[in-house]
Structure 1
Amino acid sequence: MKLNIGISEKGRKSVSAVLAQLLADEVALYIATRGAHWNVVGPNFGPLHSFFESQYEALDDILDDVAERIRALGATAPASVGAYAKAKSIDDGAGSEASAAKMIESLLKAHEAIIRNLRKYEDVADDAEDAGSEDFFVSLIEQHEKMAWMLRAHLQ
């Protein structure tokens, strides 16, 4: 059945495209955060291990929401490692041998990159007259800003 939600097909396609880009970046950040959780060492291991867990759990919810928003606009959510690797725009992270501080710094940079991208994506949704996606992007900006603040606090 044809989708009739008050957004043009062109608009839905443009918003779905940036949502797919966002999904790839969110997956990359999720994996990097999981890696930090698994591989962090040092005197603050316990608190950082738990902290990274809270962050990857929040990212898991975001992943699901982004994929479901893509589906709500009538597109198919990318669902392969190859598609994510090809589409992602953020770095892979500090790596499994990095210090805790380097892991935190790398995750912070990834969140900040996603925040900058989300601000651009909000404009795409506005151009498409897609108020739902605009609100969704604003909500994600707020969530990523909070996670970035928490990471930044560990570096001060």
Structure 2
Amino acid sequence: MKADIGISAKNSEAVSLILNTLLADEHVLYMKTRNYHWNYEGDNFHEMHLFYEGQYEQLAETIDEIAERVRMLGHYATGRLKDLLEITRLLEPDYTNHQQEQLTNLLSDHETLIRTIRKDIDELSEKLKDTGSADLLTGILRQHEKMAWMIRSYLG
């Protein structure tokens, strides 16, 4: 059954495309953070293990919120890894177990998402007239800003 929530079918489809692209980005960032959680080595292993765990748990919640919003709009949330990798805007670097490299990679991704989400919010609210999705992305933007700040604090 199609959703009748005051967003045209054309706009709803465009919103879902934006959200599914962000969903793909969040999945890549989640797996990168989880990878670093598993593969970090260093004298502060326990601290970093817990730090990464807190970050990927927050990303998992974000992933779920985005996917549910796509479903609220009456579309399918992208969930196959093959499809996610085709539309993500993030890259996967080589394996590293060095804290500085890991944190720099994560910071770059968070800042990329922050810049992208800002643009998406404008498009969602102004062009596509979906304040609900724009509001969701505003909250996600704040989460990425906080996560980036925490990572920057480690980098000094």
When normalised by structure 2's length, the TM-score is 0.96
Task: Measure the CA separation in 2 of the matches of 1:108 and 1:35.
Answer: 15
Aligned to 2:151: 151
- SS of the aligned residue for 2:138 comes to helix
CA RMSD of aligned residues (A): 1.0
Aligned to 1:120: 119
The residue identity in structure 2 corresponding to 1:152 is: R
Alpha-carbon shift at residue 97 of structure 1 (Å): 2.7
Alpha-carbon shift at residue 11 of structure 1 (Å): 1.0
Alpha-carbon shift at residue 92 of structure 1 (Å): 1.3
Task: Measure the CA separation in 1 of the matches of 2:87 and 2:55.
Answer: 22
The residue identity in structure 2 corresponding to 1:82 is: K
Task: Measure the CA separation in 1 of the matches of 2:82 and 2:97.
Answer: 25
Aligned to 1:26: 26
Task: Measure the CA separation in 1 of the matches of 2:71 and 2:103.
Answer: 32
Matches within 5 A, 1:4-23: 4-23=4-23
- Structure 1 unaligned regions, length at least 5: none
Aligned to 1:38: 38
2:40 touches 2:99 (CA, 8 Å); kept in 1? Answer: yes
Matches within 5 A, 1:90-101: 90-93=90-93, 95-101=94-100
The residue identity in structure 2 corresponding to 1:102 is: E
Alpha-carbon shift at residue 2 of structure 1 (Å): 3.1
- Structure 2 unaligned regions, length at least 5: none
When normalised by structure 1's length, the TM-score is 0.96
Aligned to 1:102: 101
Whether 2:46 is the aligned partner of 1:52: answer no
The residue identity in structure 2 corresponding to 1:143 is: Q
The residue identity in structure 2 corresponding to 1:100 is: Q
- The Cα offsets for residues 28-62 of structure 1, whole Å up to 9 and x where unpaired, read as 00000000100111111110110000000000000
Structure 1 stretches of 4+ with a deviation exceeding 4 A read: none
Question: Percent same amino acid at aligned positions?
Answer: 41
2:41 touches 2:97 (CA, 8 Å); kept in 1? Answer: no
Matched pairs, number: 155
- SS of the aligned residue for 2:75 comes to coil
